[in-house]
Amino acid sequence: MKENKIPINQIILDDNINFMKSLPDECIDLIFADPPYNMNLQKELLRPNGLKFEGVNDEWDKFNSLEHYKEESLKWIKECLRILKKNGSFWIIGSYQNIHIIGNILQNLNAWIIGEIIWEKTNPVPNFGGTRFVNDHETLLWVVKNKNSSFTFNYKTMKFLNKGKQMKSIWNFAICSGKERLKDENGKKIHSTQKPLQLLERIILASSKYNDLVFDPFIGTATTAHAAKKWGRNYLGVELFERYYNASIERLKNVEENMEDDNVKFASFDKKQEKVTFKDLIDANLINVEENIYIQNLKLKFNIDGTITYLNEKYSPNALCKKIFNKPTNAWEVIKINNQKISEIRKKYRDKN
């Protein structure tokens, strides 16, 4: 394992392969990658009014051939998988031009694709020529190192953000525009593929923990770092082009950590509660072994060790409830003392501790 120090909360001006090689194995909790899509625009795009449409025609998105694109993609994906922690998450965004190539490379490297998200754009660019369907979505692959990874998924936090319903795999966000879009002194957009902040916020809140390290090998104008900083994660990004790098540094100066939505930031909904036993409640004098307890119409008592004696035999509370109800039954919810469920007494214990 490499012993190099890991820079934290920095944007690095460098080639991403070169920089990643300086990082030790398995040091990153979450990676988001927005690589070149290899769009290969063959001709100038014109709007219906005859004006030129500023699409993606940047030099960084031009490759000599499909094989060249595959070779370059393999290099950065291998490095990302190397530096990703064994239980970390790796998100990659793409479109029909490249996402199937990316997916194939990942599977050949034995990475495990655990999900596919469709980002449906609420304000897509029209198909000006009327020759195809409007391309109104992009695809995100959610990947881990292998099928045995115990990755973070803040399921209950996502459900909370989705108004109490399970979060689905089609996400609706507008293309980055308006005040969010970074522009130069002439009013022109700085980066042609700047992603909306909401998209990165959801990814980070879904698959990372507070203080985790989030890395972006194509940081661009630092949307990933912005989202990470806002939600109390550490960030690290690398950018090859000085124009984007400078814009990133300026952008991050104005970003502060969200100090209000702590339940979302800390994924409090998803934290496992402290394990409590029946004996813990007895030892804490929250249950008196001299008091009667009730399971349906049966009047019984706890033993000092947290068991219950029934027909001259000792049972654990759950085993006894299973016997009485003839099916697996949650003893915490059916055993009562003075018309109070044991689960309510357990809550008092947790609140106190």
Among 29-33, 52-56, 291-295, the minimum mean pLDDT is found in 52-56
- Per residue in 109-127, pLDDT (tens digit) is 999 999 999 999 998 888 7
For residues 286 and 343, the answer to whether their CB atoms sit within 8 Å is no
Does the pLDDT of residue 47 top 50, yes or no?
Answer: no
Which of 46-55, 83-92, 121-130 ranks highest by mean pLDDT?
83-92
Burial 105-144 (b: 16+ CB within 10 A, else e): bbeeeebbbbeebebebeeeeeeeeeeeeeebbbbbbbbb
Measure the CA–CA gap between 131 and 338, rounded to whole angstroms.
73
Q: Is pLDDT at 70 greater than 50 in this prediction? A: yes
What would the DSSP string read from start to end of 79-109? HHHHHEEEEEEEEEEE-TTTHHHHHHHHHHT
20 sits in which H/E element: helix 16-20
- List helix spans (H) across 236-330: 242-253, 262-265, 278-283, 317-325
Whether residue 192 has pLDDT greater than 60: yes
Q: Fold identical between 10-270 and 278-352?
A: no
Task: Please tell me whether residue 44 adopts helix, strand or coil conformation.
Answer: coil
> Rounded CA gap, 284 and 99, in Å?
57
Q: Burial of 48 by CB count in 10 Å (0-12 exposed, 13-18 middle, 19+ buried)?
A: exposed
pLDDT computed for residue 53 by the predictor = 41
Rounded Cα distance, 207 and 222, in Å = 19
* Average pLDDT across the chain, whole number: 91
Tell me the helix, strand and coil percentages in the chain, rounded to 5: 30, 20, 45
Domain 10-270 sits in CATH 3.30.70.260 = no
Q: How far apart are the first and last CA of the chain?
A: 40
pLDDT of residue 172: 97
What pLDDT is attached to residue 21?
Answer: 97
Kindly report the CATH class assigned to 278-352.
alpha beta
pLDDT of residue 57: 66
Q: List the chain domain ranges.
A: 10-270, 278-352
**From 14-23, 100-109, 125-134, 240-249, the region with the lowest mean pLDDT:** 125-134
CA nearest neighbour of 135 among 32, 34, 45: 45
- With b meaning 16 or more CB within 10 Å and e meaning fewer, what string describes 211-221? ebbbbbbbbbb
**pLDDT tens digits along 205-234:** 999 999 999 999 999 999 999 999 999 999
